[in-house]
Structure 1
Amino acid sequence: MPEWIIVSLRTLLAVVVLFFMTKLLGKRQVSELSLFEYITGITIGSIAASICLDLNTSWYLGVLSLVIWSGITIGIEYLQLKSKKARDFIDHRGTVLIQNGKILEDNLKKIRITSDELLTRLRQKNMFKVADVEFAIMEPNGDINVFPTKENQPLTPKDLGIQIPHETVPQTVIMDGKILDHSLNNLGLNRRWLHTELDKAGVTVENVFLGQVDDMGELYLDLFDDTIQVPKPKTRQLLLATLQKALADVKGFALDTNDPKAKKMYRACQEKLEQVIAKVKPRLQ
């Protein structure tokens, strides 16, 4: 058999075996890798290359080596799940680099990182002054996480006393010009509603690359043709405007009437409407 055919068959075999081994090892192989996982990825890649090109070695020995190495990796990962001591020994613990605004030089030497590299990594976290850092730690995967000082932390709605309502994840109802009925069912909607919304926007399903519905029932569309402008949904703005108009009407009724009971009723309605608007306004703006 010609060598090019043998190499092609070995390559296909290696791709199939690698695919199943990677699925078995899990997604961490292609995300943030620990030291051992990094070594595992390099070794498995080298073994796969040997299976493809080393014609002097039996292919099944390479496959056997892949299976054994993957089995050892799975065993070590299982041991890490069961034992914190094993995790600390294999992946090491996180190393504190800055504590209470002070750089720990001994820890920098321990992990062999220079002050220049530390400053570079801090700048990658948008921290340009060491004095602005309260706490910094290097994780086992080599990433540095930074906790800024109190005065340099971003302002949040909680700091301002603003209550933000819970918001659910948008549901994708159209993908690549195809309607996803299960997503519509999850929202309690149907195709008739979807086609009505598409008619309002002046587009057809076939022209939609992606369509999502948020928890307010608004449909956001991205078309295949980016030159076409799709009008943005205005359900939230219309609802807020309706509430504000109702509030203005109630205020007007309270001013126009001379009946004490009616005035008291309108005042009570005004207070309730103001409370409702204050709660929903962050979501409707």
Structure 2
Amino acid sequence: MTAPEFNFGLLIEAEDLVPYLGHECLRIVDLSRSSVYEQLHIPHAIQLKPKQLVAQHDEATGVLPSVEQLQQLVQYLNISPEHHVVVYDDEGGAWAGRLIWNLHCIGFTRTSLLNGGIHAWLGAGFPTTSEIEKTQPVEKLVQVDLSQVNQYKIDYDELRKQVETQHIQLWDCRTTEEYTGLRLAARRGGHIPAALHFEWSTALDRQNHLKLHPLERTRNRLEQLGFQLNQPVVVYCQSHHRSGLAYIVGRLLQWPIRAYDGAWSEWGNRLDSPIITGENPL
């Protein structure tokens, strides 16, 4: 296997990917619904199902899987340290972003999100196929390394401590109804104290194939809401699915960002967690 000939950033456009279709160092991963993938997908893309990205612990439904499960994920993706992984889905990038976060957690950062996913690809008129990709086993698989995982994730105990000392900036990217507590998706509704609200899909341009809005626009909206983009932030949703895209947005904005993968499914199901209801952070 030769060294990669491309130099993709964390976000790439469909036209940037086209010249490299079939490259031996490129792995394209499709996290669209199975019905979509079976009908059409980007040539050479392999299908990955969201359930392969998460584990369930106690009340939490979307936590980072075990080392063994993560190694199985690497084996399924069939990636070596020389590969570059480009990920897309059919929903604007949430599941795709979640896969990228998983890979970052294990020390693999040769990753890119395809802006707009399959919608942008189809909108540009690029080729698709219904053929199932069969990859040849690579000689040297990526080895899971969780030594730097705390750069990317935060657990309940650490988060609880920082919330109690008011030494944290929190981004709740769920819907307004979930944030205020009007919609229950756990035993209790509401949000983590001090969390500011910016729904994940607000970053998407529905008039432009679910591509991200210009980053400067999103930056301005976040700052107007009171976020300090030069200070660390923790993002969460219900199960670290929607916050997969929020994580990508944060990284693109060069924001020091971590994800709470226990998310509201853990915080809201625990009866001892401090909770705020209503529109105000506190």
TM-score by shorter chain over 0.5:
no
TM-score, normalised relative to structure 1: 0.17
Higher relative helix content? 1
Q: Which has the larger radius of gyration?
A: 1
Quick one: higher RCO (CA 8 Å, sep 6+), 1 or 2?
Answer: 2
